[in-house]
Amino acid sequence: MDKDQKSSLLPTKTTRRFAMSPKKLPNLKKLPLDIFSGSITKADFLNEMPNLEKIDINGHLNGLDFRSAASPKLTLFHMVNATAKKLVQYLQKSPNLSVLNIHECVLIGDSEHPARFQNLKELVLSKCKLPPNVLMALCCQNPQLEQLQLRFLSTLTDEMFLKICKELPRLRFLALVSCDLLTDAVGGYIIQHCGSLEKLKISGFTLSEGALAELRERHVRMKRWFWPYPFDPVGGFAQAER
């Protein structure tokens, strides 16, 4: 590993202490961060790393407050097991964001913020608790999205999914996993509005035989799982699987 590579990645042991005693790290580009806290933690420490491109946060947090943080060069954001305040507002300050993956998180305080990200190509929302308007904004205000995974979203309805399909003409990869309110009607929505779709993964419900046949005629590659559903890697996974 050369000097530049070493300076771009913060050691794991350091990340666990970093939020408590931030230091200026102008060359850091990748941040794997484990935070375990019973109190609200401010994410202002991210301001000390202005060249961050990739963030991977894993924690058990009562709250991570992003309102005063900014990462202007961020391209990939991955967060697991956290309650995040003003996350969308923070990400608005990252014009190059292309991959957003949020798993088992609660998002609060973002209902009034737009969720437009001009370079976002891949979005994963899994087991998240977020207001329906924030869910719809993330999906529908980014028509350039090419890869979308919606997993274990208990509030996602057929009507909401129809609107999502209408707003994503460039969608190439779609995964729908155990969204309990969805029915086989989604097959018709996909056929009618997702003309660029190349790959479809579903679990937790089935599509009609007619919808399956038409998707096959369009050469859409399909996979159906029951349980457990394998978790897809994030960050260009669709290209890697081809």
For every residue of 40-84, DSSP letters joined together read EEEGGGGGG-TT--EEEEEEEEEEEE-TT---TT--EEEEEEEEE
Q: What does the DSSP 8-state code read for residue 235?
A: S
Among 52, 126, 230, CA closest to 69: 52
pLDDT beyond 50 at 5: no
> For 101-154, what is each residue's pLDDT tens digit?
999 999 998 877 788 999 999 999 999 999 999 999 999 999 999 999 999 999
C-alpha 173: how far from chain center: 14
3-state secondary structure of 229: coil
Q: Provide the domain count of the chain.
A: 1
The answer to the question of residue 241 being in a domain is no
Share of the chain above pLDDT 90, in %: 66
The answer to the question of residue 44 being in a domain is yes
Q: Which amino acid is at 9?
A: L
149 touches 126 (CB < 8 A): yes
150 touches 132 (CB < 8 A): no
Among 110, 180, 185, 187, CA closest to 150: 180
The CATH number of the domain holding residue 97 is 3.80.10.10
Exposed/middle/buried for 219, CB within 10 Å: 0-12, 13-18, 19+?
Answer: exposed
The answer to the question of residue 236 being in a domain is no
d(CA 174, CA 149): 6
User: Confidence band (pLDDT; 50, 70, 90) for 39?
Assistant: confident
The residue behind tokens 């509005």 is 193
The answer to the question of residue 242 being in a domain is no
Exposed e or buried b per residue across 21-45, where buried means at least 16 C-beta atoms within 10 angstroms of its C-beta: eeeebeebbebbbbbeeeeebbbeb
User: Confidence band (pLDDT; 50, 70, 90) for 241?
Assistant: very low
Q: What is the pTM of this model?
A: 0.85
User: Confidence band (pLDDT; 50, 70, 90) for 204?
Assistant: confident
The answer to the question of residue 216 being in a domain is yes
Q: Give the phi and the psi of residue 222 in degrees, each rounded to 5.
A: -125, 145
> For 84-110, what is each residue's pLDDT tens digit?
999 999 999 999 999 999 999 999 988
The answer to the question of residue 238 being in a domain is no
Give the C-alpha distances (Å, rounded to integers) separating 70 from 12, 13, 73, 88.
Answer: 22, 23, 9, 11
Measure the CA dihedral 208/209/215/220, to 10°. 100
> For 63-83, what is each residue's pLDDT tens digit?
889 999 999 999 999 999 999
User: Confidence band (pLDDT; 50, 70, 90) for 173?
Assistant: very high
Do the strands 173-177 and 199-203 form a parallel or antiparallel pair, or are they unpaired?
parallel
The answer to the question of residue 171 being in a domain is yes
3-state secondary structure of 115: coil
The answer to the question of residue 240 being in a domain is no
Range of the domain at 187: 3-229
For residue 88, the surrounding DSSP H or E stretch is helix 87-91
